[in-house]
Amino acid sequence: MPAVGRNVLRKEGTGKVTGAARYVDDLSFPGMLHGTTVRSTVASGRIRAIRLEFDPSGFVVADARDVPGRNVVALIEDDQPCLADGRVRHVAEPILLLAHERRESLLDARVAIDYEEEPPVFDPAASPRVFKEISIVKGDLARGFEAADQIVEGEYVTGLQEQLYIEPNGVIAVPENGGMTVYGSLQCPYYVHKALVVLLGLPPEKVRVVQTETGGGFGGKEEYPSILAGHAAILARKAGRPVKMVYDRVEDMLATTKRHPSVVRHKTGVRRDGRIVAMDVDVLLDGGAYVTLSPVVLSRGVLHATGPYRCDAVRIHGRVTMTNTPPNGAFRGFGAPQTQFAAEVHMERIAEALGMDPVRLRETNLFRPGDTTATGQTLGEDCSAGAVLRAAVERTDFDRRRRELAGSSSGIGLSLFFHGSGFTGGGEVRLASRASLELTATGARILVGSTEIGQGTRTIHAQIVADALEIPYDSVEVCEADTGLVPDSGPTVASRTCMVVGKILENCALEMKRRLGSLSPARYLALHGPLVVTREYEKPAELAWSDETYRGDAYGAYGWGCNVAEVVRDPDTYEVRPVRLTAVCEIGKAIHPVLAAGQVEGGTAQGIGYALLEEVVVRDGRMANAQMTNYLVPTTLDTPPIDVILLENPYFYGPHGAKGIGEMPIDGPAPAIVNAIRHLGLDVREIPATPERILGAPCISR
Amino acid sequence: MKRLLDVLREECGLTGTKEGCGEGECGACTVLIEGVPVNSCLVPFAHARGARVTTIEGLNGSHPLQETFVSEGGAQCGICTPGMILAATVLPGDAELEEIRTALAGNICRCTGYEGIYRAIRAAARARPRQGDPQPASRAEPGADAER
Amino acid sequence: MRTAMSRLTLVEPRTLTEALGILHEDPSRTPIAGCTDVYVNLNFGTLPDTRFLDIWRLDELREIALDGEVLSIGALATYADLIRSPLVEERLPILAAASREIGGAQIQNRGTIGGNVANASPAGDTLPVLAVAEARVVLASADGVRRVPFNGFYTGYRASVRRPDELIAALEIPQLSGRQWFRKVGTRAAQAISKIVMAGIRSRSPRLAVGSVAPTVVRLPETEAVLAAGGSIDAARAALAREIQPIDDVRSTAEYRRRVAENLLARFWRETA
């Protein structure tokens, strides 16, 4: 019986329900010290003096001078120091590291730092520094607007969002074999590996990164672990002993990356019949103090900024700028939730302006196979925008329900969205990801750098390999994500682990099957010795993309989604509560239906928090509510029943037709909920739509 | 004044109990004291003296919830799972959805949207109806308990 | 954990008399019970206290009983105890309602009403209930027992008339008449700290109390007078607006708190009509 498409027993399940799974804070090494970070308390300035106000005996103290290699967090640009060297650019910037055998002793280690403060930049629109600017142009915008009967304009705002994985960031650095091994809670072991090689000035083979069981990531453990691993490694090198650094919740919230805040402006030309004829979109993201991943977040943001709608005259302009706040970074969706929130609330406003039914408006404009996107990509038969919209409207009896609720204290709204799977444009080519498959006496062992962070990586990879090799699922083992053992399969991000890495593995398995011929694994090993098949990402020949012009096939495939949200408003407290959320997602193929539904349910719940609850309060560049008591994520009582419908329209180059799934579910809930609030007659254009914002929202004039 | 959480993790080596926030908000450190769910990050060890404390290890992998949390998608990253399962053990077998939601409102899961957790609890109830036996987990094998 | 725990000391008396004796000798010790507040502050490193007196095991302070017409609630009654108590449900159902909205099950199993009163947060969820119930706080010390009206208990932000050598032993609830009403507003449906919390009793002399709108929980005598005199709800709203001093903080805004407090007043009046 094939494994794909069935709910086989998860490879990574048992340890998590028995307590046997070891997360980084559950590990200890002989002679291990505990490390802590002394951070900036000002947003911008020069460091004048650092004074240790404690007896340093028994402590290891490290600063920028202790960096043996280059003092940078190597990522896209090397502008972020691992430890501040002379000046600071955001609150919570790491300056000094301390380690001690007793964690408690670190609490008494007072360090005074004198700054010469400089005026900080907090407004991204007024920032003197642009990290990245991207323009996408299609057709003739001026002529498009000339053909319009009406022009609708609007500005839409989204706030910071904290990933709030329940396990905070943590690593242990262990000096060994003349090099450094780091164990940690992380998504991308080879990102950390690359950063440590540069920071420590060591040859690659002297650095080893091992992912420990990871208690959630959502992007928050994509790039951040590189700086934390660097800190632990600097201390461990100086101490000559293992050093553990595990953040508490406050430090994790104050210091680590969050979703970029955005301001998106739309100006849209539309004809009386609802046809959109011109789209002009301006995207501004707040990058924080250093570049980190901001250019790529902006890229995904602008590539999704039109929403899933065809238009022959499009201009999208995006920029991400510097502010003196902690760097913003990867978070599930990666720019697309921001821009699609704007696009979908704007669509609702166009429908209101035309007096048109919101479903009809979307039907009129949605992408169909053969349509071209803003970058000129021609969509294939796996384009499912119409199918997900129809399924959601039917499932919820949307038209009838919308009429029934009109004028009541309940509202219903929808959102239509898409999400590119895998890296943007030429990104997958540059990554050149590799995966390996090793023959074992009873089957095969998977060797990939992809990490299990809750999504079920090991399970789905094993399913794909089992079916390609035509062996039982239980005969496939999965090696731990240890850079000493597995090749670089690229980062575990961007909804690429199934579609991209899974496909490479499938190719490995097919080649292994050819090599085996009619021999059993045991027989092959006896006759020919060990067999390891390694394959690299192969770009589908017809995909073409230019980073210079931003023209071409931005993504190999897109997932398609439609959300319908029903909300109820309390007229006295201005609270809006979601009562039901329907999520239709077209994902190519559900390799493991329970895991796939879990991705949609979880992403949807995070989207509900993004829409209504999750507000990072920033004062003077510092998160003022860095506690779980005051940064509110949805509990059981805040999360309505989530009705998931998975549709499958296969992508030719995905394993069994699979596309990406992990990120897309978070794109839809915020606009669907805000559109349901608009159905209540309230003009909300900013999230989170907290009761305080609802109170201030004007009524929609009809 | 040591926290029960630290005694369990550092002195008993029972690392299945997790710390997510240290402020009683996330519920990842939930254990049972005499069958009653508490946040072990807010309990002084002194309050567990002489009491039966049940951690995830004390369920011995044999509680029906431990199977259904895997099969129904109740666990994703797993960090909230031990606390979530322990909090769910006190639910009666015939608990309605609203009762389940209320009982678990002190356990935050960031991965599942809770749907998989509800499925797991209902599936476990079907596997072993437990009416009239509201606190089975506190009767776990004594050898696996951290008794002090 | 940002507090050096090994430096903290805890004494564990077995009886109330012993506990009061310890406090008499050394009133600087901080009494603790369910610990749901104390460990939060220890975790953040914001609690300077290092010497504690554990009263959790003093079962004599746990009883919920009727003493004549007075409902006596031991200070150590947990929120779970209050939710389950038939006496509370019969006499002061809004106390059970408030308890249901505090934290999750784990907090309800440990947090105590005495702790909620002693912690003296302006956002304490049971406090408006005790205010409209005109509860008495029973304070015990080695010198004996004294009773103070709950409405005179707080003297300012997190300050009360409790002497350091005194323990809160119980809350006494006199017989009440009229329809009781309670509403808590937090951004989240569960595990939220109140942005506004209101309790009311509708009778010939209506009573109304609000939390999170002033340095302490407040009764609203002027608003109550307007209602008692049969004034319009708009007049009552105006009076309420004069009687509260809400502020902007990380959880909400002064404007929101003021508007919602007024709306809840109207709702109280509507729903208890």
Block mean pLDDT (10 aa), chain C, length 273: 95 97 97 97 95 97 97 98 98 98 97 98 97 98 98 97 98 98 93 95 97 97 98 98 96 97 98 96
Backbone region of residue B22 per phi and psi (left: phi > 0; alpha: psi in -120 to 50; beta: other values)? left
Chains touching B (at least 3 CB pairs under 8 A) are A, C
The answer for residues whose C-beta is within 8 angstroms of residue C17's C-beta and 6 or more apart is: none
Residues on chain A touching B85 (C-beta within 8 angstroms): 17
Indicate the pLDDT class of residue A362, thresholds 50, 70 and 90: very high
Asked if B107 is an interface residue toward chain C (Cβ–Cβ < 8 A), one would say yes
Distance between CA atoms of residues C92 and C70, nearest Å: 11
Model pLDDT for residues A240-278, shown as the tens digit of each residue: 999 999 999 999 999 999 999 999 999 999 999 999 999
Model pLDDT for residues A90-106, shown as the tens digit of each residue: 999 999 999 999 999 99
Asked if A624 is an interface residue toward chain C (Cβ–Cβ < 8 A), one would say yes
**What pLDDT, on the 0 to 100 scale, is given for residue B140?**
33
Q: What is the mean predicted confidence (pLDDT) over A56-82?
A: 97
Chain A: give the shortest CA distance to residue C267, in Å. Answer: 8
Residues on chain C touching B90 (C-beta within 8 angstroms): 105
pLDDT of residue A576 exceeding 50, the answer is yes
Model pLDDT for residues A285-336, shown as the tens digit of each residue: 999 999 999 999 999 999 999 999 999 999 999 999 999 999 999 999 999 9
**What pLDDT, on the 0 to 100 scale, is given for residue C253?**
97
Closest partner residue to A166 (CB to CB) among B16, B28, B85 is: B28
B and C: number of Cβ contacts within 8 A: 88
Model pLDDT for residues A459-518, shown as the tens digit of each residue: 999 999 999 999 999 999 999 999 999 999 999 999 999 999 999 999 999 999 999 999
**What pLDDT, on the 0 to 100 scale, is given for residue A702?**
60
Chain C: give the shortest CA distance to residue A310, in Å. Answer: 38
A and C: number of Cβ contacts within 8 A: 72
pLDDT of residue A2 exceeding 50, the answer is yes
Residues on chain C touching A690 (C-beta within 8 angstroms): 187
Chain A: give the shortest CA distance to residue C262, in Å. Answer: 9
**What pLDDT, on the 0 to 100 scale, is given for residue B139?**
35
Residue B8 is given by DSSP the state I
- Contact at CB, A695 and C250, closer than 8 angstroms: no
Instruction: Give the residue from chain A lying closest to B105, CA to CA.
Output: A636
Residues on chain B touching C39 (C-beta within 8 angstroms): 3, 22-24, 41-44
Distance between CA atoms of residues A379 and A402, nearest Å: 31
Q: What is the mean predicted confidence (pLDDT) over A367-379?
A: 98
> A447 is written with which tokens?
């060797």
**What pLDDT, on the 0 to 100 scale, is given for residue A426?**
85
Indicate the pLDDT class of residue A425, thresholds 50, 70 and 90: confident
Q: Taking a C-beta distance cutoff of 8 angstroms, is the pair A261, A296 a contact?
A: no
Distance between CA atoms of residues A94 and A107, nearest Å: 17
Chain B: give the shortest CA distance to residue C50, in Å. Answer: 10
Instruction: Give the residue from chain C lying closest to B34, CA to CA.
Output: C109
Q: Taking a C-beta distance cutoff of 8 angstroms, is the pair A219, A334 a contact?
A: yes
3-state secondary structure A274-320: CCEEEEEEEEEEEEECCCCCHHHHHHHHHHCCCCCECCCCEEEEEEE
Residues on chain A touching B23 (C-beta within 8 angstroms): 249, 627-629
3-state secondary structure of A668: coil
- Contact at CB, B75 and A16, closer than 8 angstroms: yes
> Cα–Cα distances in Å, from C258 out to B111, B147, C244, C263, C270?
36, 51, 8, 9, 19
3-state secondary structure of A185: coil
pLDDT of residue B145 exceeding 50, the answer is no
Residue linked to tokens 């002394």: A38
Q: What is the pTM of this model?
A: 0.97
Chain A: give the shortest CA distance to residue C228, in Å. Answer: 23
Average pLDDT, chain B: 89
The residue type found at B39 is: N
Closest partner residue to C189 (CB to CB) among A107, A625, A635 is: A635
ipTM for the predicted complex: 0.97
Angle at which helices A593-612 and A669-679 cross, to 10°: 50
The full DSSP string for C107-159 is HHTT-BHHHHHHH--TT-TTHHHHHHTT-EEEEEETTEEEEEEGGGTEEETTE
- Contact at CB, B37 and C109, closer than 8 angstroms: yes
> A89 is written with which tokens?
């650019």
Chain B: give the shortest CA distance to residue A43, in Å. Answer: 26
3-state secondary structure of C228: helix
**What pLDDT, on the 0 to 100 scale, is given for residue A96?**
98
Asked if C9 is an interface residue toward chain B (Cβ–Cβ < 8 A), one would say yes
Distance between CA atoms of residues C32 and A355, nearest Å: 62
Asked if C160 is an interface residue toward chain A (Cβ–Cβ < 8 A), one would say no
pLDDT of residue B137 exceeding 80, the answer is no
Chain A: give the shortest CA distance to residue C63, in Å. Answer: 31
Residues 48-77 of B with CB under 8 A from C: none
**What pLDDT, on the 0 to 100 scale, is given for residue C190?**
86
Chain C: give the shortest CA distance to residue B37, in Å. Answer: 5
Chains touching A (at least 3 CB pairs under 8 A) are B, C
B122 membership: H or E segment, kind and range: helix B115-127
**What pLDDT, on the 0 to 100 scale, is given for residue B132?**
43
- Contact at CB, B79 and A165, closer than 8 angstroms: yes
Model pLDDT for residues A582-604, shown as the tens digit of each residue: 999 999 999 999 999 999 999 99
**What pLDDT, on the 0 to 100 scale, is given for residue B129?**
52
- Contact at CB, B19 and A25, closer than 8 angstroms: yes
The full DSSP string for A3-41 is STTS-PPPTT-HHHHHT-S-BGGG---TT-EEEEEEE-S
Higher-confidence position of C187 and A675: A675
Based on the number of CB atoms within 10 Å of its own CB, is A363 exposed (0-12), middle (13-18) or buried (19 or more)?
middle
Residues on chain B touching C190 (C-beta within 8 angstroms): 102, 105-106
> B65 is written with which tokens?
């919830």
3-state secondary structure A145-161: HHCCCEEEEEEEEECCE
Average pLDDT, chain A: 97
3-state secondary structure of B69: helix
Cα Rg of chain C, angstroms? 19
Asked if A620 is an interface residue toward chain C (Cβ–Cβ < 8 A), one would say no
Distance between CA atoms of residues C250 and A24, nearest Å: 32
Residues on chain B touching C1 (C-beta within 8 angstroms): 3, 6, 22
Residues on chain B touching C188 (C-beta within 8 angstroms): none
Asked if B55 is an interface residue toward chain A (Cβ–Cβ < 8 A), one would say yes
Asked if C187 is an interface residue toward chain A (Cβ–Cβ < 8 A), one would say yes
Instruction: Give the residue from chain C lying closest to B20, CA to CA.
Output: C1
Instruction: Give the residue from chain B lying closest to C8, CA to CA.
Output: B1
Closest partner residue to A21 (CB to CB) among B61, B78, B107 is: B78
Q: What is the mean predicted confidence (pLDDT) over A557-576?
A: 98
